[in-house]
Amino acid sequence: MSSGGGAIAERDVALVDLVDRLLGGGVVIAGDITLAVADVDLVHISLRALVSSVETARPPEP
Amino acid sequence: MIELLAITDDRAAPPPPLRIVPAGPVAVVVGPVPEGEVDAEALWAREALLEDLMEERSLLPIRFGTRVEDDAAAAEVVAGRGAELLAALERVRDAVELSVRAVDRDGTHGAAVDAVHAQLAGLAREHARHDGPEALRSAYLVERSGVDGFVAAVRGLQQEHPGLSVLCTGPWPPYSFAEPR
């Protein structure tokens, strides 16, 4: 999918999709919502990684 | 403290370390607050618990990181929202979420992007398109029985539109369709 190891890139995409959903999805229930700063950093790093990996992505072989 | 993971209306005991706390017409799936740093491995471990649970019952994922003191507090925060949460469960019952991103590599395939989204939306119970750096970032609520057909459609669309990179992940619990409307 990207230059250098499709399987790794697929896992990266899935992690970005997971983090997107964990932070922005789900029903909001009252209670303490605890998110360490490190988590948010992880998301931003992952999103940047995704954008750069898909920008260099090639279409799959037919 | 305990973590709140999901709302369900199936009160059967889940596999440990998850537990069920009844709360009116629904129930809360709770688990221990994970120790240590939250890294990718910890997120996937949590996700695996939810996905195993999703195999056997319909559920509404709860926003990540939601914690309360104990079981009584878990029941209390859901009390009074039973009807609303039951309706939200009906909305996602027997369906799962699929994520699709499409990247328009040279920015000239806007019509193709819209066609991809329209075709996939036609296979879904509901869909939600979000803004993002990609040409298409969207979530589709798909019948469990329709997942294979959806994935086949994504493959076909990728072949049909070589100017796009179409990325599909899932099936996910219905994170993007869990909030009551």
pLDDT in tens, B22-73: 999 999 999 998 887 777 788 888 999 999 999 999 999 999 888 899 999 9
Q: What HEC string does B156-168 produce?
A: HHHHHCCCEEEEE
Q: What is the mean pLDDT of each run of 10 residues along chain A (62 residues)?
A: 46 82 88 55 52 47 45
Query: How many structural domains is chain B composed of?
Result: 2
Q: Of B45, B74, B92, which closes a domain?
A: B92
Contact B176 A28 (CB under 8 A): no
Domain holding B20, by residue range, is 2-92
Q: What crossing angle do the helices spanning B147-160 and B110-121 adopt, rounded to 10°?
A: 160
Contact B77 A14 (CB under 8 A): no
Q: Are B141 and B126 in contact (CB under 8 A)?
A: yes
For B78, the closest chain A residue by CA position comes to A29
State pLDDT tens for residues B154-166: 999 999 999 999 9
Q: What mean pLDDT comes out for the span B15-24?
A: 95
Q: Of B49, B69, B92, which closes a domain?
A: B92
Please indicate whether residue B1 or residue B142 has the higher confidence score (pLDDT).
B142
Whichever domain contains B138, its CATH number is: 3.30.70.930
State pLDDT tens for residues B107-165: 899 999 999 999 999 999 999 998 877 899 999 999 999 999 999 999 999 999 999 99
Q: Say yes or no: A61 contacts chain B, CB-CB below 8 A.
A: no
For residues B86 and B110, state if they share a domain. no
Q: Report the alpha-carbon distance of residue A9 to residue B83 in Å, rounded.
A: 42
Tell me whether residue B9 is exposed, middle or buried, using C-beta atoms within 10 angstroms of its C-beta: 0 to 12, 13 to 18, 19 or more. middle
Q: Are B153 and B123 in contact (CB under 8 A)?
A: yes
Residue B26 in tokens: 């629904």
